[in-house]
């Protein structure tokens, strides 16, 4: 399952707004099309939008002003600002753009064609590294999963949300590949139903047993002892281990704590933002009211009703049992242990 692929100078993005009804790859020939795809959730998930933005930088470079190296670099930096402005919460987006710009500045050459090739090589590297890190994450994480475990996940943190394999779903895939015969409860994830539309579909493609529930069934499900552990992804992790993820994650974590159920977060280390001391400093994206008041084109709320629609919430570190990364499983005290991994990669 590919969330994206680069074909002859065109970025092909799996349009996730059309799933599960249609598998369609949207061709992006211009960085503005990549920016639009990120903003409208055609591509979504922190690692996936980071990889997509890296290829967007390549497309921007291909259309830059070649009159001088200064104008070329200025244009590429403007492309980076456009891409970074699309979604503020997921740190992987800015991380990937900045990495591309650093690669460009450090190239030390003035040949435009060679610079474009260097950028494409770096984007491909980001793409490959993400898949590799997901697989490593899966191997570390699956060791935490007992045989026959029933796992709850929120939103979609699978191959669709990454360059491939997945973070939270990557851990589940690895457990299944290890013969642990796991099963999954996927909550629907209002308001855009990523759990219903994407996670359920993705797991079914891999023949992993999945049961769909509505978001407000989680507490009752746990009270009936039908959940052994929770695994979710992340869009940004602060230096102290506070986790920003899809809205509703905090509520799931509170319920898991109440029912003494382990709550794991799976994310590449690029999702960790050591510049932010805690979750209060994480910018939270707010999205259009129509996402709440309508299903597609069908209105389900009174016209003109006031709506609050944050796309993410923050789960305090005290509710997180462990953070699973490609560098290993990180346990409290997070402020010390996250920094330790950075100082000793």
Q: Taking a C-beta distance cutoff of 8 angstroms, is the pair 138, 174 a contact?
A: yes
DSSP letter for each residue of 199-211: IHHHHHHTT--EE
Q: Taking a C-beta distance cutoff of 8 angstroms, is the pair 14, 4 a contact?
A: yes
Q: Taking a C-beta distance cutoff of 8 angstroms, is the pair 91, 97 a contact?
A: no
Beta bridge partners, 13, equal 4, 26
Q: What is the CA radius of gyration of the chain?
A: 20
Q: Alpha carbon of 141 to those of 136, 209, 244, 253, 265: distances in Å?
A: 9, 19, 20, 18, 10
Rounded Cα gap, residues 115 and 62, in angstroms: 10
DSSP letter for each residue of 92-134: HHHHHHHHHHHHHHTT----HHHHHHHHHHHHHHHHHHHHHHH
Q: Which residues contact 295 (CB under 8 A, 6 or more apart)?
A: none
Q: Which residues contact 224 (CB under 8 A, 6 or more apart)?
A: none
DSSP letter for each residue of 314-329: EE-GGG-SEEEETTEE
- Cα-to-chain-centroid distance, residue 46: 3
The helix or strand, by DSSP H or E, that contains position 85, with its residue range, turns out to be: none
The helix or strand, by DSSP H or E, that contains position 138, with its residue range, turns out to be: helix 112-142
Active-site positions read 235
* Helices 69-84, 31-39: crossing angle, 10 deg rounding: 10
């Amino acid at each position: 399952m590919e969330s994206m692929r680069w074909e002859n100078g065109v970025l092909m993005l799996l349009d996730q707004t059309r799933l599960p009804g249609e598998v369609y790859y949207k061709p992006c020939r211009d960085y503005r099309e990549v920016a639009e795809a990120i903003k409208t959730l055609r591509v979504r998930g922190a690692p996936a939008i980071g990889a997509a933005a890296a290829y967007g930088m390549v497309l921007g470079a291909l259309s830059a002003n070649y009159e001088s190296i200064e104008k070329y670099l200025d244009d590429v930096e403007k492309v980076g600002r456009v891409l970074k402005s699309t979604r503020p919460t997921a740190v992987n987006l800015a991380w990937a753009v900045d990495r591309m710009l650093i690669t460009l500045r450090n190239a030390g050459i003035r040949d435009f064609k060679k610079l474009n090739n260097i950028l494409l090589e770096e984007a491909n590297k980001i793409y490959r590294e993400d898949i590799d890190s997901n697989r490593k994450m899966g191997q570390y994480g699956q060791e935490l999963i007992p045989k026959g475990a029933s796992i709850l996940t929120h939103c979609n943190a699978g191959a669709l949300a990454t360059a491939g394999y997945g973070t939270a779903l990557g851990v589940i895939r690895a457990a299944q590949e290890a013969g642990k015969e796991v099963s999954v409860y996927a909550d629907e994830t209002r308001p855009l139903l990523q759990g219903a539309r994407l996670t359920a579909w993705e797991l079914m493609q891999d023949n992993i047993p999945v049961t769909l529930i509505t978001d407000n069934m989680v507490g009752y499900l746990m009270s009936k002892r039908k959940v052994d552990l929770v695994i979710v992804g992340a869009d940004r992790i602060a230096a102290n281990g506070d986790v920003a993820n899809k809205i509703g994650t905090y509520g799931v974590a509170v319920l898991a704590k109440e029912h003494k159920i382990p709550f794991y977060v799976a994310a590449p280390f690029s999702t960790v933002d050591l510049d932010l001391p805690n979750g209060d400093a994480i910018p939270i994206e707010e999205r259009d009211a129509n996402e709440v008041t309508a299903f597609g084109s069908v209105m389900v709320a009174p016209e003109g009703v006031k709506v609050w629609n944050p796309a993410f919430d923050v789960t305090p570190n005290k509710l997180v049992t462990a953070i699973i990364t490609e560098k290993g499983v990180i346990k409290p005290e997070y402020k010390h242990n996250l920094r330790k991994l950075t100082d000793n990669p």
